């Protein structure tokens, strides 16, 4: 598992090309020989860039779902809608396909935000809005998600 670090502001051109910032490219260097998977986010209007090994690990979990249950089949269809294999070219650029570009509402200014083992690709204004919206209840969220009682930490 990888742990990517950083949030990077950059530009996307009219053809959907993004030059990876050097600090991010350096972290992704061991994975640049393999392809990446680019998909729509489940919860936000942004894109998620998965190194192929991370995508394959996730697909192992998804593949265990019983496809004869309608909700599982519906989930798989929706989760994989618009999924694309992406390569980083020799100049360190990746190409965001038009349908994904449109889904995320990308304008010229974008943000590449590391999210542990993936990179989220956001329109800059939407990213700032999402961060602002989460600010109000982030302390409560952090406590709920990461906080442990003393009993839980002793059991670990």
Domains, the chain, with CATH or none? 7-124 (3.40.1550.20)
For residues 114, 35, 25, 123, the Cα torsion angle rounded to the nearest 10 degrees is -50
Q: From first to last of its 156 residues, what are the pLDDT tens digits of the chain? A: 689 999 999 999 999 999 999 999 999 988 888 899 999 999 999 999 999 999 999 999 999 999 999 999 999 999 999 999 999 998 899 999 999 999 999 999 999 999 999 999 999 999 999 888 776 677 787 788 888 765 555 555
C-alpha–C-alpha distance, residues 115 and 40, integer Å? 14
Q: At 140, list the tokens.
A: 């409560």
Q: For the purposes of burial, counting CB atoms within 10 Å of the CB of 74, is it exposed (0-12), middle (13-18) or buried (19 or more)?
A: exposed
Do the Cβ atoms of 92 and 19 come closer than 8 Å?
yes
| 3-class secondary structure, 125 | helix
Which helix (H) or strand (E) segment is 31 a member of?
A: none
pTM of the model: 0.87
């Amino acid at each position: 598992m990888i742990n990517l670090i950083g949030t990077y502001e950059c530009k996307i051109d009219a053809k959907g090309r993004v030059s990876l910032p050097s600090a991010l490219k350096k972290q992704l260097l061991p994975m640049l020989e393999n392809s990446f998977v680019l998909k729509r986010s489940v919860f936000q209007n942004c894109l998620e860039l998965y190194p192929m090994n991370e995508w394959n690990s996730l697909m192992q979990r998804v593949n265990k779902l019983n496809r004869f249950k309608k909700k599982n089949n519906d989930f798989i269809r929706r989760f994989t809608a618009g999924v694309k294999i992406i390569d980083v070219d020799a100049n360190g650029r990746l190409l965001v396909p038009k349908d994904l570009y449109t889904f995320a509402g990308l304008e010229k200014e974008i943000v590449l935000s590391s999210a542990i083992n993936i990179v989220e690709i956001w329109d800059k204004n939407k990213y700032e809005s999402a961060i602002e919206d989460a600010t109000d209840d982030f302390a409560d969220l952090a406590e709920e998600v990461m906080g442990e009682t003393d009993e839980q930490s002793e059991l670990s």
